[in-house]
Amino acid sequence: MGILSFLKAQGQELDFYHESIQNEIFQILNKSSDTVLHSPVPFELGFDVGGGSDIYVYENHFSGIAYLTSDLTGKKQMKSSNGNYELMICHKSTDTWGSNLISKLAYYTLESRLESGQTMDLGGNFLKEKSQIKALIFDKYASFKVGGKKYGILLLIGITKDELDWAKNNGGQKLIEKLKEKKVYPITDLNRTSIFKNIP
């Protein structure tokens, strides 16, 4: 019996560091950087004591930097169509804002259902001074199966207030399409203006 069949038979979950999971992530994001952003307080100790997910850095996926959580694979998240997933955020260059955000937001996925196209108002938390980015939109960036179980990567993109309002009226998936059209996707740029700024 192969290792995957054995684990499946035993009802054990594969974690982020399992070779089969790492192989799939490599196919999507390429090799991670040698830099790992370790949370000062381990994820297992909980949000209330300042815990957070460790973050892996990927610099060879596109012309920017991708940050990915590493403590959610194998955990019992609130069931969604994304399967068991990690959170990802991307910046044009090195930026601690996004990595800090997903490190803490990782706990939210254990108790709340997140689907592609959903939005989240940041409400002043994690906001950079004078930034027009006031909310997030989620997108199913990648998915794969290992041992018959679904895994994936859920991308977060920072959006402006009027982009959030537009998504509420027209749907989150349509906003994702607009962000792709405007070449914003998959980057969160805290200094950008709304994609609707020059549209009457």
The pLDDT confidence band at residue 128, using thresholds 50, 70 and 90, is low
How far is the CA of 12 from the CAs of 6, 34, 51, 105, in angstroms?
9, 29, 24, 25
Distance, in Å, from the CA atom of 78 to the CA atom of 114, rounded to the nearest integer, reads 8
Spell out a b/e string for 99-129, using b for 16 or more CB atoms within 10 Å of the CB, else e: bbbbbbbbbebeeeebebebbbebeeebbee
Tens digits of residue pLDDT in 131-161: 899 999 999 999 999 999 999 999 999 999 9
Nearest partner of 158 among 177, 139, 181, judged by Cα: 139
Tens digits of residue pLDDT in 16-52: 999 999 999 999 999 999 989 999 999 999 999 999 9
The pLDDT confidence band at residue 95, using thresholds 50, 70 and 90, is confident
pTM, two decimals, is 0.90
Helix (H, G, I), strand (E, B) or coil at 162: helix
Across all residues in the chain, what is the average pLDDT? 89
Nearest partner of 52 among 70, 73, 35, 36, judged by Cα: 70
Distance, in Å, from the CA atom of 21 to the CA atom of 27, rounded to the nearest integer, reads 10
* Pairing mode of beta strands 84-91, 149-160: parallel
pLDDT of residue 6: 42
The percentage of the chain sitting over the pLDDT mark of 90, rounded to a whole number, equals 76
* Average pLDDT value for residue range 110-130: 83
**Residue ranges covered by each domain of the chain:** 12-181
How far is the CA of 194 from the CAs of 77, 165, 172, in angstroms?
32, 11, 15
How far is C-alpha 190 from the geometric centre of its chain's CA atoms?
Answer: 16
The pLDDT confidence band at residue 124, using thresholds 50, 70 and 90, is low
